[in-house]
Chains A and B, each alone.
Chain A
Amino acid sequence: MSVLALEKLKRRFGDDILESHSKLGDDTVLVKAERLYEVAQFLKDDPELQFDMPIDNTAVDWWQVSEPRFEVIWHLYSTVKHMRIRVKVRVGEDNPTCASLTPLWPGMNWHERETWDMYGVRFSGHPNLKRVLMYEEFVGYPLRKDYPITKRQPLIEERIVREVPTQRNPPPDMLNQP
């Protein structure tokens, strides 16, 4: 539907749009991280597009698969033109920072906080960037692919219960078998 949006973006921003496709009707643009805010501003303000509704913000961790490591994704919807678009940027591991879109859509506030919480992607310009689901004492970012799968960080001392042997947690004598 919003092939129109892709066309307009490509005409307006040219090389700053790195990739675009509308596979299965999902219009997607990959933009340069530096131009993200302007692209979003354009999507919101253009009278033919009017993407006025923030749907979601999330990230994908391409650890050991591709570089740069994180892909940050915004989903937008236009309640006026009934179009959807997906905007992506890629940020590297050493400084995972990109612009926050909360100034444009206040509804992005908690979505971006969740992405920060789970992936450790920092949003510059966000009014209140702190953890939203995990507790402040939590160390690390649990949805990153290099977070250990069995690592837990209890806030209080747990009672000792008998461990039931499982595959992940074999009884000691099973470990010594050849």
Chain B
Amino acid sequence: MKDEDIIHNEVLVTRRSDAESWLRQTIERMSQPGINWSRKFSLFNYPFVTACCGMEFMSVNGPRYDMAQYGAEFPRFSPRQADLIWIVGTITQKQAPILRRVWEQMAEPKWAIAFGVCASTGGFYDNYCTVQGADRIIPIDVYIPGCPPRPEQILDGLRLLMDKIQTEHGRVMV
């Protein structure tokens, strides 16, 4: 058999793709929980703090509520180095292009949390200058209600996101 025949032999080609997909699926199945586990415990934050919710965000970051216990205490002020954007506070129409630019600059995989009612829905600012929820600008994974939310709620939201990350499926390139 010549080389060309092997390449064009349907049976062999099918077997090869079968083997490849089996290999990929196995690697994915075996490695995904581990990859997700390591991702969810090393979230690098980008705090997009625009309004009063920022005070509550600071208190969660402080030693009393100790976000470090979930591995999410490290703020990166460069979107290139962040996995998780916290949208903390009101997003105005003027701010929206900046938010989208920051989101586009973040490298995959990336997640977003809307912190407080303003970021989730616009809150009570149903007016000319406020975006009615940051999900109109970027996709949001977890919404945390409250004005501002209590630290327990915030940690709960973070745990929800961590659960979500644990169940995610990725593709392995072989």
Contact = CB atoms under 8 A, between A and B. Distances in A.
B139 A155 contact: no
B128 A161 contact: no
B94 to A, nearest CB: 5
B97 A142 contact: no
Given A147-B128, A151-B128, A152-B128, A161 B133 contact: yes
Contacts of A147: 128
4 A-B pairs closest in CB distance: A158-B136, A142-B128, A135-B94, A156-B97
A176 to B, nearest CB: 25
A149 B94 CA distance: 18
Interface in B75-126: 93-94, 96-97, 100, 126
Contacts of A133: 129
A154 interface: yes
B94 A158 contact: no
A146 to B, nearest CB: 13
Interface residues of B, number: 16
A153 interface: yes
Nearest to A161: B135
Nearest to A147: B128
Contact of B137 (A149, A150, A156): A156
B93 A135 contact: yes
A129 B98 CA distance: 25
A134 interface: yes
Given A134-B129, A142-B129, A151-B128, A159 B93 contact: no
B131 A154 contact: yes
A18 B94 CA distance: 41
B93 A152 contact: yes
Interface residues of A, number: 17
A74 to B, nearest CB: 25
Interface in B19-64: none
B136 A159 contact: yes
Contacts of B127: 142, 149
A134 B94 contact: yes
Contacts of A168: 126
Given A152-B93, A154-B93, A156-B100, 11 more contacts: A133-B129, A135-B93, A142-B129, A154-B96, A154-B131, A155-B96, A156-B96, A158-B131, A158-B136, A159-B139, A161-B136
B117 to A, nearest CB: 13
A134 B93 CA distance: 9
B99 to A, nearest CB: 9
Given A161-B133, A161-B135, A155 B128 contact: no
Given A134-B129, A142-B129, A147-B128, A155 B94 contact: yes
Contacts of B138: 159
11 contacts: A142-B128, A150-B126, A151-B128, A152-B93, A154-B96, A155-B94, A155-B97, A156-B100, A156-B137, A158-B136, A159-B138
B76 to A, nearest CB: 24
A2 B89 CA distance: 42
